[in-house]
A and B are shown apart, each in its own frame.
Chain A
Amino acid sequence: MIHFDHVTVTYPDADAPTIRDVNLRIPEGELCLVTGHTGVGKSTLLGTINGLVPHFTGGHLQGVVRVDGRDTSTHPPRELADVVGVVSQDPLAGFVTDTVEEELAYGMEQLAIAPEVMRKRVEETLDLLGIAELRSRSLRTLSGGQQQRVAVGSVLTCHPRVLVLDEPTSALDPTAAEDVLAAVTRLVHDLGVTVIIAEHRLERVAQYADRAIHIHRDGTVVDGSPAEILEWSPVAPPVVRLGRIAGWSPVPLSVRDARRLAAPLRERLAGLDAAVAPVSAPAAPGDAAASNAAPAAVEASSVSVHYGKVTAVREIDLRLASGEIVALMGRNGSGKSSLMWALQGSGPRSGGTVMVTGADGVRVDPGSLSAGDARRHVGLVPQTPADLLYLATVAAECAQADRDATQPPGSCAALLARLVGEVDHATHPRDLSEGQRLALVLAIQLTATPATMLLDEPTRGLDYDAKAHLAEVLRELAAEGRAIMVSTHDVEFVATVANRVVVMAQGEIVADGPTAEVVVSSPTFAPQVAKVLAPQRWLTVDQVAAALAATVGP
């Protein structure tokens, strides 16, 4: 179906090709997973399939890409629209019309499909993806998962033979992601659509894939069965890494596979306690009492936030203690961001009180402070960190941050170096990788030495390495006595980093407790390791590895 012959893509001004000498044969009806670190060229590889690379993006493509017999060098994306459907990471950015029904029909109109056929296909697609009740809704009012399903539907109506999905679930909560992936696998099984999918969170898709394509950092590509590739791949979901340390071969790809192999491992671990595992102290349960004793960095009581008639946050009581890392979870639109902004003092707060403790130990209401003073008490990294950046180089941003916070020159640069190592200070912030940009904004906010740091969905678009690094950074910051709160959908990240988990729904707190207690009992929020080793309470691969090492070692 898709043939790559010695394909090399080089962007203008780039020193080295982004992907080099790719040879692939993807047969019809396969679900093909593209893996690799952030920024290695996954999107470029996907873009070559419908000709967006190089027709739209520029750059030079050597070699031949052929889709259903059509050479992409002579067919621009619009001439391939009947064969290849593309769904991007942010569905809202790609919507052309206003309502669900019109959006589903848009592609067909361009392809000049007869009106009667269009009408029929729209109805079929509405049912296939379970979005029939949304048909006349405005696209902007849909939730993230609904939008993504509409985006999939809008390309499906053209009956493409190939579906290209670029990180379709990265912005979605676990349940919405399941919905989208369930829809996609159904297409593969029922309609024989060839699907190429790029995804950071492999734990969500690895089990459905028929083939994996791994892109190395130098741009070369290997492909094979998912089990083969993930056996050694540097990016691997927790269940695979558990399989590696337990010595299972082939490595399991799903919780179900792993559980069937896990009985002996559970026996070996039976006598051990996750709490004694030495490495990941913050993830160890049981220190809730300790955190209660620690001084409170933030104390909120009956905080409410209204937008017009909508109540985003409903009378929430919350206490963040110094030195603890709290994960804030909940589906999209459950009020997580509104709560964070209200705690920081910059967002609206319709009722309740918030008291924060500054570095000097004085308790104040951040809402009553000037913006400059509020950020010395509570720092916030918003969902789109790039909103805070406006200067042309990293060096200029750092210098500005030092001036804003009246810190000695070089403070911000030093923090940045600590967070991500060396970054070229002449780079434009927009050219940084996702992880580096997040680190820059975090460094800028930390320059003001806040006693509390709030991060709104920092794990978006980060690969496993970057997330592990972020976890380490957050642990260090907490160890220095800061209170940290992270909102995220990423259960695996929560398992590695948080001591406490707060779950929100409809603006209220529905669960609040030590990580192990909250996540292990929940089917949606449980990390893979917990599911495999239940009823034992293990959360991360590192805990298991450390426990095993402790028994074998001495």
Chain B
Amino acid sequence: MAPRARLERDLHPGAWWLWSLGMATAASRTTNPLLLVLTVAVVAFVVSARRGESPWSKGFGAYLIVGLVIIGVRIVFRMVFDGQQGRHVLFSLPEISLPEAAAGIRIGGAVSLEGVLAALYDGLRLATLLICLGAANVLANPKRLLKSVPSALFEVGVAVTVALTVAPQLVESARRVTRARRLRGDVGRRTHWFRQVVVPIMTDALDRSLLLAAAMDSRGYGRTAGVSRSSRVVTGVLMLTGLTGICVGTYGLLDTTTPRTLGLPMLVVGVVVSACGLAASGSRIKRTRYRPDHWRLPEVGVALSGVVVAAVLYLAASVDPENLNPSLQPLRWPTLPLLAGFGVLLGLAPALIAPPPAAEATP
């Protein structure tokens, strides 16, 4: 077959989110540092291969840095508060003796290799989760997802849009106001700082929010076009209950300590209820999408690769639990489990499946 040039286009944001949620789910199942680093590498590779040139695409480095900070904070806290478990003592910190009432809490003292490693593994897992979600943010425009907010959640939609638009502008007005403050001359006095800076910024933000909300209103956002108030309330309640159900269900599914009933059943109930809500709000179409992102074969592939990675890690957890959570007592080198490692590598697929991102016209 003759090679066919693929048209560049933006992938459906939902596909990227499903893929990154899959990667995050996979990462949440393991504390094996080799697997976690592999996951980060896979995610970073896909991001570098498929990110666009839009403003939100430039933030991946920031997520990596935040990840490192998380690991660092985790290790430091562990050293200071709970560093003693384990036989391999690295060094000792001066210990502060606490009164009887605070028995069980220790500050300072011996710091063991086991403690530090446990903190490192744990921090690494948290950082990987964050980086996976950050990747979705970098690959897909967060605002495009907002467009899918059903009209039943009109007020919520306005609030979120206003917040998302006004928040970056806050930075701008903060810069303007702090600069203007010099013009009044009293930079030195700390007591006025709060009032001088915060009051003008907040009034500015309030003004902008009102203007934006008014503009959205006059441009027809949330038109009901004859839908009765009661039916809007019904869909609103359905949607919110459904979303809560999905959140609780996901939490139950990911956290192994919660009762089984909170997991899958709750998730299923949530999905069903939200689907009802969506159907109710969509029963009369009141909005259309301009150049909508289509859900085509590459989207299916990208989403599927995420789901498969998560599934493989679930499978591996029951087949080979030992290697997914390497033992610290006794201390042992972590090894890369074959099945799980192969599973994570499947997450690379989007770098091939996804079409190249649409090029931004040069200004």
B233 within 8 A of A: no
CB atoms of B223 and A388 under 8 A apart: no
Check A226 for interface membership: any CB of B closer than 8 A. no
Residues of B265-308 whose CB lies within 8 A of A: 285-292
Q: Are A155 and B223 in contact (CB under 8 A)?
A: no
Say yes or no: A158 contacts B220, CB within 8 Å.
yes
Q: Which residues of B contact A105 (CB under 8 A)?
A: 290-291
Q: Considering only CB atoms, which chain A residue lies closest to B207 in the complex?
A: A93
Most B CB within 10 A of own CB, among A102, A110, A374: A110
Residues of B39-87 at the interface with A, using a CB-CB cut-off of 8 Å, are: 54-55
Given A50-B218, A56-B217, A137-B361, check contact A112 B286 (CB 8 Å).
yes
Q: Are A81 and B360 in contact (CB under 8 A)?
A: no
Select B187's contact among A56, A94, A106, A371, beta carbons within 8 Å.
A371
With known contacts A388-B183, A444-B184, A98–B143 Cβ distance under 8 A: yes
Chain B nearest CB, measured from A334 CB (Å): 18
Which of A52, A112, A158 neighbours the largest number of chain B CB atoms within 10 Å of its CB? A112
Q: Check A388–B184 contact: CB distance below 8 A.
A: yes
Say which residue of A95, A109, A346, A445 sits within 8 Å of B290 (CB atoms): A109
Q: Interface with A: B1-9, B114-122, B193-201, B347-355, which one? A: B193-201
**Quick one: which of B141, B219, B224 contacts A107, CB cutoff 8 A?**
B219
Q: Which of chain A's residues have a CB closer than 8 A to the CB of B218?
A: 50, 52, 77-78, 80-81, 84-86
Given contacts A88-B214, A93-B215, A119-B291, 9 further A-B contacts (CB under 8 A): A79-B220, A101-B291, A102-B290, A110-B220, A114-B288, A118-B290, A136-B361, A374-B182, A390-B192
B200 in complex: contacting residue of A106, A114, A370, A386, CB < 8 Å: A386
CA distance A543 to B185 in the complex (A): 40
Q: Are A138 and B55 in contact (CB under 8 A)?
A: yes
Contact B196–A390 (Cβ < 8 Å): yes
Q: Does B165 contact A (CB under 8 A)?
A: yes
B363 interface hit (Cβ, 8 Å): yes
Whether B185 pairs with A371 at a CB distance below 8 angstroms is yes
Q: Is A448 an interface residue (CB 8 A)?
A: yes
Nearest residue, chain B, Cβ from A111: B220
At the interface, yes or no: A317 with Cβ under 8 Å from chain B? no
Q: In the docked arrangement, what's the CA distance between A154 and B290, Å?
A: 13
Chain B residues whose CB sits within 8 angstroms of the CB of A380 once the complex forms: 183
B11 to chain A, nearest CB (A): 17
A384 at the interface (CB under 8 A from B): yes
Residues A384 and B290 in contact, CB atoms below 8 Å apart: no
Question: Does residue B179 face the partner (Cβ distance < 8 Å to A)?
Answer: yes
Q: Taking the nearest CB of chain B, how far is it from the CB of A390, in angstroms?
A: 4
Q: How far is the CA of A371 from the CA of B216 in the complex (A)?
A: 41
When chains A and B are docked, how far (Å) is the Cα of A85 from the Cα of B185?
A: 44
8 A Cβ contacts from A98-143 to B: 98, 101-102, 105-115, 118-119, 122, 135-138, 141
A509 to B199, CA, bound (A): 37
B290 near A108: Cβ-Cβ < 8 Å: yes
A93 with B177: CB separation less than 8 A: no
Q: Does B203 contact A (CB under 8 A)?
A: yes
> Is the beta-carbon distance between B220 and A82 smaller than 8 angstroms?
yes
Chain A residues with Cβ under 8 A from B213's Cβ? 56
Report if B221 contacts A (CB, 8 A).
Answer: yes
A27 at the interface (CB under 8 A from B): no
In the complex, per-residue mask of B147-184: 1 if CB is within 8 Å of any chain A CB, else 0: 10000000000000100010000000000110111111
Least Cβ distance of B163 to chain A in Å?
13
Give Cα distance in the complex from A130 to B147, angstroms.
Answer: 28
CA distance A82 to B219 in the complex (A): 8
Residue numbers of B with Cβ under 8 A of A are 54-55, 141, 143, 147, 161, 165, 176-177, 179-188, 192, 195-196, 199-200, 203-204, 207-208, 211-225, 285-292, 360-361, 363
**Cα distance A408–B165 in the bound complex, in angstroms:** 45
Interface size class of A (residues with CB under 8 A): 35 or more
Q: How far is the CB of A373 from chain B (nearest CB, A)?
A: 8
**CB-based contact B288/A109 at 8 Å:** yes
Q: A93-B211, A109-B288 are in contact. Are A78 and B221 (CB under 8 A)?
A: yes
In the bound complex, how far is the Cα of B178 from the Cα of A280, in angstroms? 39
Please indicate which of the listed interface residues B176, B203, B223, B287 has the most CB atoms of chain A within 10 Å of its own CB: B223
B359 to chain A: closest residue by CB = A136
Q: Which residues of A contact B361 (CB under 8 A)?
A: 135-137
Binding site for B on A (CB under 8 A): 50, 52, 55-56, 76-82, 84-86, 88, 90, 93-98, 101-102, 105-115, 118-119, 122, 135-138, 141, 154-155, 158, 341, 344, 346-347, 370-372, 374-375, 379-380, 382, 384, 386-391, 401, 404-405, 430, 444-445, 448
Task: List, in ascending order, chain B residues with CB within 8 A of A374's CB.
Answer: 182, 185
Q: Is the CB of B211 within 8 A of A113?
A: no
Can you list 30 contacts pairing A with B, beta carbon distance less than 8 Å?
A50-B218, A52-B214, A55-B217, A56-B214, A56-B217, A81-B220, A84-B218, A86-B219, A88-B215, A93-B212, A95-B165, A96-B165, A96-B215, A101-B290, A101-B291, A109-B288, A110-B221, A110-B223, A112-B285, A135-B361, A138-B55, A341-B179, A346-B179, A371-B185, A371-B186, A372-B186, A372-B187, A386-B203, A388-B180, A388-B181
> How many Å from the CB of A207 to the closest CB on chain B?
28
Contact partners of B224 in chain A: CB under 8 A: 78-79
Q: How far is the CA of A361 from the CA of B9 in the complex (A)?
A: 66
A98 near B141: Cβ-Cβ < 8 Å? yes
The CA of A340 and the CA of B40, in the complex, are separated in Å by 49
How far apart sit A88 and B216, CA to CA, in the bound complex (Å)?
A: 12
C-alpha gap A86/B180 in the complex (Å): 32
Q: Collect the chain A residues with CB atoms within 8 Å of residue B187's CB.
A: 370-372
CB pair A106 B184 closer than 8 Å: no
Which of A122, A137, A158, A347 has a CB less than 8 Å from the CB of B363? A137
Choose among A78, A101, A137, A341 the residue that contacts B217 (Cβ–Cβ < 8 A). A78
Residue from A111, A115, A344, A379 within 8 A of B223 (CB atoms): A111
Which 7 pairs across A and B sit closest by C-beta, in order of nearness? Answer: A81-B220, A94-B215, A105-B290, A110-B220, A387-B180, A372-B185, A93-B211
Residues from chain A with Cβ under 8 Å of B286 in the complex: 112
A213 to B: closest C-beta gap in Å: 20
Contacts of A82 in B (CB 8 A): 220
Among B54, B214, B221, B361, chain A packs the most CB atoms within 10 A around the CB of: B214
Nearest chain A residue, comparing its CB with the CB of B154: A78
- Whether the Cβ atoms of B219 and A110 lie closer than 8 Å is yes
| Chain B, residue nearest A383 (CB) | B176
**A387–B221 touching, CB < 8 Å:** no
- Considering the chains assembled together, what is the distance between the CA atoms of A155 and B219 in angstroms? 7
Shortest Cβ gap from A58 to chain B (Å): 11
Assess A387 versus B216: contact at CB under 8 Å? Given A88-B211, A382-B183: no
Residues of A within 8 A of B208 (CB): 93
Q: Which residue of A lies closest to B162 (CB)?
A: A96
Asked if B161 and A96 sit within 8 Å, CB to CB, the answer is yes
Separation of A93 and B187 alpha carbons in the complex (Å): 30
* Nearest-Cβ distance from residue B237 to partner chain A, whole angstroms: 22
Pick from A77, A370, A382 the residue with the most CB of B within 10 Å. A77
Which chain B residue lies CB-closest to A344? B183
For B290, list chain A residues within 8 Å (CB). Answer: 101-102, 105-106, 108-109, 115, 118-119, 122
* Whole-angstrom CA separation of A513 from B278 in the bound complex: 67
Residues of A within 8 A of B204 (CB): 386
Contacts A94-B212, A108-B290: A81 and B179 contacting too (C-beta < 8 A)? no
Interchain CB contact under 8 A, A115 and B288: yes
Closest Cβ–Cβ distance, residue B143 to chain A (whole Å): 6
**B188: shortest Cβ distance to chain A, in Å?**
8
**Interchain CA distance A95-B211 in the complex, whole Å:** 10
| 8 Å CB contact of B195 from A93, A112, A388, A390 | A390
How far does the alpha carbon of A164 sit from the alpha carbon of B283 in the complex, in Å?
33
Shortest distance from the beta carbon of A323 to any chain B beta carbon, whole Å:
23
A96, B291: Cβ atoms under 8 Å?
Answer: no
The verdict on A106 contacting B219 (CB below 8 Å), with A56-B214, A387-B200 known, is: yes
Closest-by-CB residue of B relative to A56 is B214
Evaluate contact between A387 and B212: CB separation under 8 angstroms: no
